[in-house]
Amino acid sequence: MFYCCVLRSEQSDQRYVGSCEDVADRLYRHNSGQSKTTKSGIPWRLIHTEALARERYDKIGRGRDELDKLQ
């Protein structure tokens, strides 16, 4: 099963929304600099995970506003 994962950078407070099948491995790859997109925000922490259908909602409008409230 694929999951939508929301990460927050502890360095820049930026948010990253993506999808993966293995959440722990994906978080490890983000924090070890293996992802060019998130390399500048290391360290990242997982703030939310759920089924993939939610990813599009989290990337636009009201979904982004809801994610801003998560810490």
Q: Is the pLDDT of residue 71 over 90?
A: no
As a whole number of Å, the end-to-end CA separation of the chain is: 25
Q: Is the pLDDT of residue 49 over 90?
A: yes
Residue 59's Cα: distance from chain center in Å? Answer: 10
Report the C-alpha gap between 12 and 62 in whole angstroms: 22
Report the C-alpha gap between 57 and 14 in whole angstroms: 18
Tokens of 14: 């930026």
Domain boundaries defined on the chain: 3-68
**Pick the residue with more confidence: 4 or 52?**
4
pLDDT (tens digit per residue) in 8-48: 999 999 999 999 999 999 999 999 999 999 999 999 999 99
pLDDT of residue 53: 72
Beta-carbon contacts of residue 48 (< 8 Å; ≥ 6 apart): 5, 6, 67, 70
Q: Is the pLDDT of residue 54 over 90?
A: no
